[in-house]
Amino acid sequence: MQKNIVVVTGGSKGIGRALVGRFLQAGYPVVTCARSGADLEALHQAMRAALPDAVLHTLPADLSQQAEARRFTDFVQSLGSVDVLINNTGSFLPGRLQDEPQDGSQLRQMLAVNLLSAYDVTLALLPGLLAQGAGHIFTICSTASITPYPNGGSYGIAKHALLGFTKNLREELKDQGIRVTAVLPGATLTASWEGVDLPAERFIRAEDVAEAVFATYSLSPQAVVEELLIRPQLGDL
């Protein structure tokens, strides 16, 4: 039986790339996006080499821009029905609120990338999920969604808001057959931590996050993991 589409936003690197690979490995057709067309082509080549029969669709898009988010969701809808939506697009700018530009540009940038991208993509694809009465929405939040960090600044605000968005979705959709899960990873070995003088063993592996998401999705429709909190074994950095 043909499987419905899995959508992973920001799938060219890090956790997103691991999620793309895990669902492709399980035989699902996957649609993803990233700002860089070159990164998406590299993803295509890597997945084609590892999984020759996998079905992967990509589109370069900057989801922090509402028009680009709409272009991406139109592309997704042209391909078929969606079973899983994973809102993974995000960006981290460290710094203290007191040091950010006083015009509010950093907060607006963090909200656009980390919150509004998920909001716009979800609202565009939600009618299809509601019509079929089934589906699973994941948002990749962060431990910064529940813990304020000294250098978190506007990123922490945006991630707190993303968790609030996810909780609202869960409450609204629980009686309509759609499962909603917030994923809160701690320090994960991705490009965000490049240059940090710490051993790889101190971080979560992106593949572990992807495996946990897939296991959560694989539960019966009678069960939902509302919040999936994953930390390095030795605790937060």
Tens-level pLDDT at each residue, the chain (237 residues): 678 999 999 999 999 999 999 999 999 999 999 999 999 999 999 999 999 999 999 999 999 999 999 999 999 999 999 999 999 999 999 999 999 999 999 999 999 999 999 999 999 999 999 999 999 999 999 999 999 999 999 999 999 999 999 999 999 999 999 999 999 999 887 766 666 778 888 889 999 999 999 999 999 999 999 999 999 999 988
Architecture of domain 5-230 in CATH?
Answer: 3-Layer(aba) Sandwich (3.40)
pLDDT at 91: 93
pLDDT at 2: 72
In the chain, where are the structural domains located? 5-230
Residues 6+ positions from 229 with CB-CB distance below 8 Å = 143, 146, 184
